[in-house]
Chains A and B, each alone.
Chain A
């Protein structure tokens, strides 16, 4: 029998406090636009959800004072920010922001996070699994998506993301895949 652990960073408290006072409506509008952009660039993502492509997912970054609701909506996703769980999700995935981002970027393995309880799933487990598998296949890079979204600011955004990743240890971008052999 072997036991081991790796440390997953948490979001700084001061930054979390700042999120508490931000208005949610513009955040939701940007998130929806952002998720539709991802859909456009990775059309396979929602196709892979199959029969679960009309489910609502609550994403709960436990070190942030907000939750996100991702309504897959048949491939035209609607993402909104909430202060409290809106209670109408089919499945809820909760974990630190770093765990959630690491999952999206393929830096961590979903099952491993789940076994260690760094990630907690409630509700429709099959829908949550489908989402996880679809995201894993999409090879997303959120920093790259944001950079592409930022027009002339793309280069500074990329540099900022890389710097923030180095400082916080949070996987803000997709790790380089080098050929090992």
Chain B
């Protein structure tokens, strides 16, 4: 079976671009704190979601709605109504991370398909089977800490479909288990749907350097003409011990294009592209490339190579944890 391309859409225009470019499936979220890309100017109103889903369905594509932050104590109804509204809008599935929200969806919207978000950091078959048994989860988005061999081992031990990230931003921490951002800025992926938020970013020209700060902490400094990555905390340049450098991760993004045959053989159902914050131009180019790649793979042709490098952060890419030496 052809691996399913699951593509991001931060705006209705990006959703249409993704569908036209050949995405089998598009994922998106409501314009509020219920999804993990709660960025300025992004995401869907209720009406836009209904229209977007209708557009995708009319072209044979599916839409998944990410409601993958952790509901705030005392305000859970905001998240409950997001699930209800996604259901009413005709979503093919919701992507959830919180145990309580999963319990709610399984109870009150049992016929709405549930996927387990990467934010749940379910990294082995035992816990994945547990989510399937407890909440009827049909698919899991695997955290970006696993090697291809480990993914194969998971698929051997579970009937739950697996979806893996193949392109885009790379979290080096287990997602949903990281509060670096709220430590420095007060806003976190888990609670607010943002990481290293633009509201707390400050760029200043200092001498010949461009300094990027987040919440007042210097994340990196680059000389004129050097690539300037966004100041994401875990991609910063710091002093540790007697060394100075990218302690956690270089300013790279994930590109597992060349690992598609191995991922298919590992039993992966769907390939996820990161980037709901990226433009429709990006979405369109990446989707076309990956759709061509999976179709070539299916037809037994060789894969097209290296079309996507410029879109990568810092213009450099890595295959991440899929190769074990990354750790």
Asked if A and B touch directly (CB within 8 angstroms), the answer is yes
> Is A110 touching B279 in the complex (CB atoms < 8 A)?
yes
The interface stretch among A18-26, A60-68, A114-122, A146-154 is: A114-122
| Closest B residue, CB atoms, query A49 | B41
Q: Which residues from A are CB-within-8-Å of B39?
A: 129, 133
The interface stretch among B85-93, B126-134, B141-149, B304-312 is: B304-312
> Is B281 touching A133 in the complex (CB atoms < 8 A)?
no
Which one of A1, A132, A134, A137 contacts B318 once the chains associate, using CB atoms below 8 Å?
A1
A167 at the interface (CB under 8 A from B): no
A2, A48, A51, A106: residue with the most chain B Cβ atoms closer than 10 Å: A2
Q: Which residues from A are CB-within-8-Å of B291?
A: 180-181
**What mask results when residues 129 to 150 of chain A are scored 1 for a CB within 8 Å of chain B, else 0?**
1111110111100000000000
> Is B310 touching A177 in the complex (CB atoms < 8 A)?
no
> Is A117 touching B316 in the complex (CB atoms < 8 A)?
no
> Is A4 touching B309 in the complex (CB atoms < 8 A)?
yes
- Number of residues of chain A lying within 8 A (CB) of chain B: 45
Within residues 217 to 251 of chain B, which ones have a CB less than 8 A from any CB in chain A? 225-230
CA gap between A163 and B53 in the complex, in Å: 38
Please give the distance in Å from A3's CB to the nearest CB on chain B: 6
| Closest B residue, CB atoms, query A4 | B309
B57 at the interface (CB under 8 A from A): no
Dominant secondary structure at the B interface: mixed
Which one of B22, B278, B315 contacts A4 once the chains associate, using CB atoms below 8 Å?
B315
A125 at the interface (CB under 8 A from B): yes
CA gap between A121 and B198 in the complex, in Å: 11
B255 at the interface (CB under 8 A from A): yes
A15 at the interface (CB under 8 A from B): no
Q: Which residues from A are CB-within-8-Å of B11?
A: 48, 133, 136-137
B13 at the interface (CB under 8 A from A): yes
Given A111-B279, A116-B227, residue A5 in contact with residue B203 (CB < 8 A): no
CA gap between A181 and B40 in the complex, in Å: 32
> Is A109 touching B316 in the complex (CB atoms < 8 A)?
no
Please give the distance in Å from A120's CB to the nearest CB on chain B: 8
Please give the distance in Å from A8's CB to the nearest CB on chain B: 11
Which one of B40, B203, B306, B315 contacts A126 once the chains associate, using CB atoms below 8 Å?
B40
CA gap between A125 and B192 in the complex, in Å: 18
> Is A115 touching B313 in the complex (CB atoms < 8 A)?
yes
Given A109-B279, A136-B13, A136-B279, residue A180 in contact with residue B20 (CB < 8 A): yes
Please give the distance in Å from B82's CB to the nearest CB on chain A: 18
> Is A48 touching B41 in the complex (CB atoms < 8 A)?
yes
Within residues 292 to 326 of chain B, which ones have a CB less than 8 A from any CB in chain A? 306, 309-318
> Is B277 touching A106 in the complex (CB atoms < 8 A)?
no
Which one of A1, A137, A139, A180 contacts B316 once the chains associate, using CB atoms below 8 Å?
A1
| Closest B residue, CB atoms, query A47 | B45
A108 at the interface (CB under 8 A from B): yes
CA gap between A6 and B198 in the complex, in Å: 27
> Is A130 touching B310 in the complex (CB atoms < 8 A)?
no
Please give the distance in Å from A133's CB to the nearest CB on chain B: 3
> Is A131 touching B201 in the complex (CB atoms < 8 A)?
no
Q: Which residues from B are CB-within-8-Å of A117?
A: 225-228
Q: Which residues from A are CB-within-8-Å of B198?
A: 125-126, 128-129
Other 12 A-B pairs with CB < 8 A, given A1-B316, A137-B13, A137-B280: A4-B315, A5-B315, A108-B281, A109-B311, A116-B310, A117-B225, A130-B40, A132-B279, A133-B40, A137-B41, A179-B20, A180-B20
- Can you list 20 A-B pairs with a CB-CB distance of less than 8 A? A4-B310, A6-B310, A50-B31, A106-B280, A106-B281, A109-B311, A110-B278, A115-B230, A117-B228, A120-B228, A125-B201, A129-B40, A129-B277, A132-B41, A133-B10, A137-B280, A139-B280, A177-B20, A178-B20, A181-B291
